[in-house]
Structure 1
Amino acid sequence: MRKWWPLVVVCLGTFMFLLDTTVLSVALPDIGAGLSAPLSALQWVANIYTLVLAVLMLTMGALVDRFGARTVYVAGLAVFGVASLACGLSPNAGVLIAARGMQGIGGAALAVTTFALIGAVYRGPDMGRAMGVFGAVTGLAAAVGPMIGGALTQYFSWRAVFFLNLPLVAVTVALALRVLATGRRGAGTRIDLPGTIAFAVCAGSLTYALTVAGEEGWTSFRVLGLLTLAVLALIAFVRVELRSSAPLLEVRLFSKASFSAVLMCVGASTAAFAALVYTSLWLQSGLGLRPVRAGLALMPLALASFGTSLISGRRLHGKSPRAILAAGLLLSGIGCLLQTGLDAGSSAGSLTVGLAVTGIGVGLMGPAMGAAVFAALPPERGGMAAGAMTTFRQLGQTLGVSVFGVLFQHGGSALPEGLNRVLIAAAATGITGSVLAYVFVPKPEDASAPARRRLTGSR
């Protein structure tokens, strides 16, 4: 039992940072009323957290390689706790937005170090079991966030959404200092500040452009300017990384189709969760459900994901990641497709089967994706592997919410029609990711071929 305490610590931190990506979806109306905040401010309360997460993932990966996963993890918990307190005490929207950004800094540290800690502690079948539990907690946290946020908001206050983190942080820090090994530090390489800035400008301007496009259209001067800035920043990022002696991300790795495909699959896997934002909006604004009831309507996804992750991590360890990833993404896409066809007469029960199928797909994907990403890089670059995976996952969800927002608004005043558009796009993303996984992710024997050639000296 003692060997599983590090996993408990990792899962607690993961649960917190993922919870705060979705928990506000049902609390924003009360925040707006309590702080007299306009809609534009409320959008930034939600978006600044996920944007900071996406921007800092690679930097946090570099910090893990330099200072060790345990140090960065505990520091991230401390920042996350202080920021949560500041969020709960915020007197106005400006302070709340700033505190949410600070929360994103701590969340980025938690997101990256969790994978590095699991990879450092567990091997063989234990790795499969650990990734299975981790995937289950990931799916559970993302899915139950609206329900927990709704319950706290409905029965206490929106401030309780943030105060809930304080005891969780205290318990997790105490356990982390007790059960996590210090680990080894890197060689003290410098942090790639120019690369960090270039990536931040690229991700920030692209996300902002997608958000503005829903209101002004794709041809507006501001949207085109932001998209141009994003492209220029991406070019600058690639040039900086190619020349850097300590890059945030080895961009040459993207010349490997298998590595690029796995990260594309990671991004595609977030489509179902990005769609949940608009599913929750339809349940509350379209059907008039209270926050708690709306959260309960999403539970089929959470339960199916949790159960599947536990089983798949134990039973499918060592199986072909290509087959598992392809099957998981396909089921996720089919589940979204089964949720479509909504109209004015639809109820929350219309989503149940589709949510369950999506949950099964999500549960299959989690353990396989972690193993596939770590296998693509050498062990000493575990921080970079974790940073790349979490960056693509968070950026995929951030951009997915923005793109789906444009589709949702183009549905007009009919909420079911807007949600149908979102779900069709999410389904297409999952199915496309399934094809990428099946075609480009190598079989285990293909992945081991280079190692065999090195051992035998053959070419």
Structure 2
Amino acid sequence: MAQARTNPWLVLVVLTSGFFMILLDTTIVNVAIPAMSAGLNTTLDQILWVLNAYILVYAVLLITAGRLGDLYGQRNLFAIGLFVFTVASALCGISQNATELIAFRILQGIGGAILTPQTLSIITTLFPPERRGAAFGVWGGVAGLATIAGPTVGGALITYFSWPWIFFINVPIGIAALIATFLIIPDVRPGRRHGWDIVGVILATVGLFAVVFGLIEGQRYNWGEIASYGITIPEVIVGGVVIILVFLFWERFQPEPLLPLTLFRERNFAVANWIAAAISFGMLSLFLPVTIYLQSVRGFSALTAGLTFAPMSLTSMLVAPFAGRLADKIGGKYILLSGISLFTIGFGLVTYVAGPDSTWLTFLVPAIVAGAGMGMTFAPMTTVAMRNI
């Protein structure tokens, strides 16, 4: 196995730079919805697909992209994903209509899906077990920060520039990170040749696509029949679940499965994945309606709407590194428990205090509480999940 030719902390900086852009783009579009709708002269349904297309492709391709990293090298796939994402960002910025923008967002999602799984693989390889807590703490902190910083960064760019700049901002960062990838990240490869589970790839892709598509489009079709296709949203979702179950059954009998189910025998890994899914679902599902509420109901500018949740980003950024180090010393269980509790309380308060007369000060304390919870959740959660893997 190739040895790192540089400081692993420098490698971590490069990895998290690319990873930050990927997750930032899951929420940065939220605050730009009114501006994009007006600028492209299109409907809300089409603009929502600018957000949904990215998330859909990103979610569906993650498992397949992880195996590609095993086959062709994590650094190479990280670089390819970064290149695709950067080019797609530039194309998004010059889009002339909603159709073009949705197509380029799909390309962004492909790049993001290729890049993301390589980051954890490289970190696990380069950092010894006793130092992974701090490294995962940084990685988890960046994950949380990127997701909640999207509205703030997007609001500033829209206010002082225009909506295409929420995509153009990725280009110089992507170019710098791509150059640094080949200068700093070692080409670490597994010691044995991996196989390629084609059937598993097809089953996982189709199943995940059906479930995610059904959940995204359910409201649009009133959870009924999809136009004139003769199939309903519940049937799409149930069909996707059935295909995923077939995928899991298939994987049990593969000599080298695409998704090693034995990983889920490790209780911490299994529980941490369920926690990550629940938190991501709650966080992403809240940001979109709250952002629209702040601009459409309260009349906030894009910048003010973004700055309303800036305390959440700042608090998470400050708390996450300390939470990661503390998880190394005392274990992540109780830190994670405290973080989830604060996260739940904070987001519950956000929805509770939202009203027709709310100001940005109304959300200050809830944002700080939620930010502290996120900082104490993402870092130790990753540490707990990966410690015995």
Match of 1:452 in 2: none
Q: List alignment gaps of at least 5 residues for structure 2.
A: 1-5, 226-230
Alignment size in residue pairs:
377
Match of 2:381 in 1: 369
2:306 counterpart of 1:301: no
Match of 2:348 in 1: 337
Match for residue 177 of structure 2 among 164, 172, 175: 172
Match of 2:146 in 1: 141
CA distance in 2, matches of 1:29, 1:240: 45
2:253 counterpart of 1:248: no
CA distance in 2, matches of 1:341, 1:3: 44
Note the C-alpha offset of 1:252.
4.5
CA distance in 2, matches of 1:35, 1:204: 27
Cα 1:258–1:164 change in 2 (3 A) is closer
Superposition TM-score, scaled by structure 2 size: 0.90
1:14 is aligned with what amino acid? F
For the Cα contact (< 8 Å) 2:200–2:247, is it kept in 1?
yes
Deviations 1:338-375 (A, max 9, x none): 22143333323222212211111111122212222223
2:49 counterpart of 1:44: yes
1:348 is aligned with what amino acid? W
Match for residue 235 of structure 1 among 245, 256, 273: 245
Single out whichever of 57-66 and 244-253 deviates more from structure 2: 244-253
Q: List alignment gaps of at least 5 residues for structure 1.
A: 378-459
Match of 1:272 in 2: 283
CA distance in 2, matches of 1:71, 1:318: 34
Note the C-alpha offset of 1:261.
1.6
Match of 1:346 in 2: 358
Single out whichever of 102-111 and 177-186 deviates more from structure 2: 177-186
Note the C-alpha offset of 1:46.
0.6
Corresponding residue SS for 1:318: helix
Single out whichever of 360-369 and 129-138 deviates more from structure 2: 129-138
For the Cα contact (< 8 Å) 1:272–1:332, is it kept in 2?
no
Match of 1:211 in 2: 216
1:299 is aligned with what amino acid? A
Single out whichever of 190-199 and 177-186 deviates more from structure 2: 190-199
Corresponding residue SS for 1:183: coil
Single out whichever of 214-223 and 337-346 deviates more from structure 2: 214-223
Cα 1:321–1:335 change in 2 (3 A) is same
For the Cα contact (< 8 Å) 2:298–2:357, is it kept in 1?
no
* Mapping for residues 16-55 of structure 1, pairs under 5 Å: 16-55=21-60
2:127 counterpart of 1:117: no
For the Cα contact (< 8 Å) 1:65–1:186, is it kept in 2?
no
CA distance in 1, matches of 2:200, 2:131: 36
CA distance in 2, matches of 1:136, 1:333: 18
Match of 1:403 in 2: none
Note the C-alpha offset of 1:287.
0.9
CA distance in 2, matches of 1:110, 1:56: 11
2:300 is aligned with what amino acid? L
Note the C-alpha offset of 1:125.
5.3
Match of 2:371 in 1: 359
Match for residue 291 of structure 1 among 302, 306, 320: 302
2:65 is aligned with what amino acid? M
Match of 1:69 in 2: 74
Single out whichever of 244-253 and 40-49 deviates more from structure 2: 244-253
1:15 is aligned with what amino acid? F
CA distance in 1, matches of 2:133, 2:265: 28
Corresponding residue SS for 1:336: helix
CA distance in 2, matches of 1:20, 1:309: 21
Note the C-alpha offset of 1:297.
0.5
Deviations 1:380-422 (A, max 9, x none): xxxxxxxxxxxxxxxxxxxxxxxxxxxxxxxxxxxxxxxxxxx
Deviations 1:299-356 (A, max 9, x none): 1211111111122223332322222222211111121222214333332322221221
CA distance in 2, matches of 1:127, 1:77: 24
Corresponding residue SS for 2:36: helix
For the Cα contact (< 8 Å) 2:195–2:256, is it kept in 1?
yes
Superposition TM-score, scaled by structure 1 size: 0.77
For the Cα contact (< 8 Å) 1:325–1:365, is it kept in 2?
yes
Cα 1:376–1:266 change in 2 (3 A) is farther
Cα RMSD, aligned residues only: 2.2
Note the C-alpha offset of 1:16.
0.7
Cα 1:228–1:310 change in 2 (3 A) is closer
Consecutive aligned runs of 4 or more in structure 1 exceeding 6 Å deviation: none
* Mapping for residues 84-95 of structure 1, pairs under 5 Å: 84-95=89-100
Single out whichever of 231-240 and 77-86 deviates more from structure 2: 231-240
Note the C-alpha offset of 1:178.
0.8
